């Protein structure tokens, strides 16, 4: 029914434009936040090579709680300020980590993870969730990824 796979080998900004169009098409008419997060997690898994975990943590009662994702089972609750996700949520700032083993307090959910990108989703200035991407490669994520995922976070901000 849906065919939102990336089209061919193209520069990262072009791939992100395809991802944004797909995210827009999948979520714009759907009010259910869980359904939308599930589809975005699946899109990220399909569009981003060399990832071993793509998904969401949601802000619930002042802590992060696991949301829809693709990957191995992960820690369920993360206090604000802890690990890469908790730091992104506490500061409201993207965390681009080339080597998670050098990040103080990194929470190792899957031992194959070596690099990580976590982008907060903001609504009316508040962090409502984070998008978490893990890779087995060191320094998998760069500025193109940061900009692409930050734009994705804007697109879905009112739909999750």
Q: Using the rule CB under 6 A, is 53 a contact of ligand SME?
A: yes
Instruction: For residue 150, give every residue at least 6 positions away whose Cβ sits within 8 Å of its Cβ, in sequence order, or none.
Output: 94, 119
Residue 30 or 110 with smaller CB distance to ligand SME: 110
| Residue showing tokens 């990194």 | 106
106 sits near ligand SME (criterion: CB under 6 A): yes
Residue (13 or 81) nearer to ligand SME, CB: 81
Interface with ligand SME includes 131 (CB under 6 A)? no
Produce one character per residue of 139-148: b if its CB has 16 or more CB atoms within 10 Å, e if not.
Answer: ebbeeebeeb
State yes or no: residue 74 binds ligand SME (CB under 6 A).
Answer: yes
Q: Select from 83, 127, 128, 129 the one that contacts ligand SME (CB under 6 A).
A: 83
**Beta bridge partner(s), residue 119:** 131
Burial class (CB in 10 A: 0-12, 13-18, 19+), 101: exposed
Q: By CB under 6 A, name the binding residues for ligand SME.
A: 53, 74-75, 78, 83-86, 106-107, 109, 113, 116, 132, 134
């Amino acid at each position: 029914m849906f065919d939102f796979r990336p089209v061919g080998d193209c520069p990262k900004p072009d791939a992100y434009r395809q991802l944004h169009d797909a995210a827009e098409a999948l979520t714009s008419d759907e009010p259910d936040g869980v359904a939308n997060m599930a589809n975005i997690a699946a899109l990220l898994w399909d569009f981003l090579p060399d990832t071993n975990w793509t998904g969401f943590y949601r802000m619930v009662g002042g802590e992060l709680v696991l949301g829809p994702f693709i990957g191995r089972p992960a820690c369920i609750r993360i206090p604000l300020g802890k690990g890469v996700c908790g730091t992104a949520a506490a500061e409201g700032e993207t965390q681009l980590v080339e080597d998670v083993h050098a990040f103080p307090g990194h929470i190792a959910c899957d031992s194959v993870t070596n690099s990580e990108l976590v982008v907060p989703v903001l609504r009316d200035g508040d962090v409502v969730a984070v998008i978490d991407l893990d890779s087995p490669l060191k320094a998998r994520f760069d500025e193109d990824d940061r900009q692409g995922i930050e734009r994705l976070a804007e697109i879905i901000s009112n739909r999750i």
